[in-house]
């Protein structure tokens, strides 16, 4: 096809994409003809390819922190560089307290965006009053940000706290110790326990270097509470062990008691009953040595629970029995009942059913005399279940009927006992 015929064919096409394809073919054809005839036919490349705008150079910088003072503020016209007189400091402090009140009002009015805009302004200006004032304000606002689930705001505040921590690295001075103590509290307010522990650990090293056991114990207590509150049981155990050793070295009986209790508790939380029992036994010995009988029944029940959890049923049985025997003369009825109930369940677990029946029978009688209806009802239920398992149907029915009478007094679980009586009656009649 010649160039003119091809052009006519192109004009007859209607679809734009067909037209474009044909036009490209036409240009290629005309180029071939031009080459054949010795005539150069230029191809307009720019008409076929869209112009690509030049790529804008992207900045690698992050947007400025809302806590950085980048523009003059009416409350601080001289900026952060000019030192303030005492009168100016007092006036600025009053103005910033007013900003805090305004932000609080905005938050209470369900306008968190406006509230944190005001708080960020306050924080920018707090720097003029010194690091300690700024740290306290950062912690206060960070606590609000965490409560409102404002992750970015918490991150910005945490970064500023870390920058302050880096700047406050000189050890030993009273001012630095004060700043670190404030940083530790602020890190807790923004829910960064790891950073708080890092600060307190630095302070702990300094307290030890200065041979200050009181400060050492105080810091270890704070660190232990932090680990425990964030369920870091291994580190909590390590910290309270240090505290116990320190208390024993000073023969501080009160601290010994407190840290034995904490170690037993943390080991139980960590699902380590065998280790918990070690500290409970030490506590028990101290209570007995000091004649503090009122604390013994509850502790013996806990010790028995841990022995049972580790399969040491003989020791568990002994502790439950002793807890019951000690609780009665002390009129600690709740502990006495708890000890017998757990002893009965222990016997059931060991399949010592006759022993369990004796415990529950005694418990039911004692509870009725003490007007402890709920415990008596549960005891009759346990008796009925054991006798049902032994296929002693008449005895099981009698126990469930006694339970039913108590349940009627309480207006509670009557349907359950009626169902049990009906079920046992049907089984016994087969």
pLDDT surpasses 90 at 165: yes
- Dist CA 280 CA 302 (whole Å): 8
End-to-end Cα separation, the chain, in angstroms: 106
Contact 98, 115 (CB under 8 A): no
Q: pLDDT tens across 121-141, in order?
A: 999 999 999 999 999 999 999
> Which pLDDT score, from 0 to 100, does residue 63 have?
63
pLDDT surpasses 80 at 83: yes
With bands split at pLDDT 50, 70 and 90, how would you rate the model's confidence at 194? Answer: very high
Say what percent of the chain tops pLDDT 70.
Answer: 84
> Which pLDDT score, from 0 to 100, does residue 39 have?
35
Q: pLDDT tens across 250-302, in order?
A: 999 999 999 999 999 999 999 999 999 999 999 999 999 999 999 999 999 99
With bands split at pLDDT 50, 70 and 90, how would you rate the model's confidence at 82? Answer: confident
Say what percent of the chain tops pLDDT 90.
Answer: 77
> Which pLDDT score, from 0 to 100, does residue 419 have?
96
pLDDT surpasses 80 at 30: no
> Which pLDDT score, from 0 to 100, does residue 305 have?
98
Residue that the structure tokens 């010649």 belong to: 2
Judged by average pLDDT, the poorest of 10-24, 188-202, 290-304 is: 10-24
Q: Phi/psi of residue 251, each to 5°?
A: 55, 40
**CATH class of the domain defined by 272-350:** mainly alpha
Q: What is the dihedral of CA 412, 416, 420, 423, to 10 degrees?
A: 150
- Dist CA 192 CA 376 (whole Å): 50
- In the beta sheet, which residues pair with residue 73? 76
> Which pLDDT score, from 0 to 100, does residue 47 have?
35
Compute the mean pLDDT over every residue in the chain, rounded to the nearest whole number.
87
């Amino acid at each position: 096809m010649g160039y003119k015929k091809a052009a006519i064919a192109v004009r007859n096409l209607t679809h734009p994409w067909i037209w474009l394809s044909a036009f490209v073919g036409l240009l290629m054809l005309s180029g071939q003809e031009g080459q054949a005839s010795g005539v150069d036919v230029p191809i307009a490349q720019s008409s076929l390819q869209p112009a690509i705008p030049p790529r804008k150079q992207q900045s690698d910088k992050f947007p400025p922190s809302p806590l950085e003072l980048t523009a003059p503020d009416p409350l601080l016209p001289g900026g952060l560089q000019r030192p303030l007189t005492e009168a100016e400091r007092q006036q600025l402090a009053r103005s910033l307290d007013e900003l805090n009140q305004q932000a609080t009002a905005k938050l209470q009015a369900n306008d968190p965006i406006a509230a944190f805009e005001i708080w960020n302004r306050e924080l920018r200006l707090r720097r003029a009053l010194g690091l300690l004032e700024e740290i306290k304000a950062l912690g206060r606002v960070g606590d609000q940000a965490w409560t409102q689930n404002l992750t970015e705001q918490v991150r910005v505040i945490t970064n500023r706290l870390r920058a302050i921590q880096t700047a406050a690295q000189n050890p030993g001075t009273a001012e630095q110790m004060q700043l670190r103590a404030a940083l530790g509290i602020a890190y807790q307010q923004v829910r960064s326990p790891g950073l708080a522990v890092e600060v307190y650990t630095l302070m702990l090293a300094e307290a030890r270097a200065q041979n200050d056991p009181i400060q050492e114990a105080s810091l270890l207590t704070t660190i232990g509470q932090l680990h425990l509150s964030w369920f870091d049981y291994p580190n909590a155990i390590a910290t309270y062990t240090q505290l116990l050793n320190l208390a024993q070295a000073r023969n501080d009986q009160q601290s010994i008691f407190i840290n034995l209790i904490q170690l037993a508790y943390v080991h139980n939380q960590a699902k380590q009953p065998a280790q918990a029992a070690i500290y409970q036994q030490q506590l028990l010995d101290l209570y007995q040595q000091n004649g503090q009988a009122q604390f013994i029944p509850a502790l013996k029940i806990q010790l028995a629970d841990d022995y049972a959890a580790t399969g040491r049923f003989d020791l568990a049985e002994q502790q439950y029995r002793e807890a019951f025997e000690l609780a009665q003369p002390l009129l600690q009825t709740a502990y006495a009942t708890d000890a017998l109930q757990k002893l009965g369940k222990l016997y059931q677990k060991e399949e010592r059913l006759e022993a369990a029946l004796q415990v529950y029978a005694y418990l039911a009688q004692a509870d009725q005399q003490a007007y402890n209806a709920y415990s008596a009802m549960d005891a009759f239920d346990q008796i009925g279940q054991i006798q049902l398992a032994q296929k002693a149907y008449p005895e099981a029915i009698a126990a469930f009927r006694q339970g039913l009478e108590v349940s009627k007094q309480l207006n509670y679980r009557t349907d359950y006992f009626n169902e049990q009586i009906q079920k046992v009656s049907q089984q016994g009649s087969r």
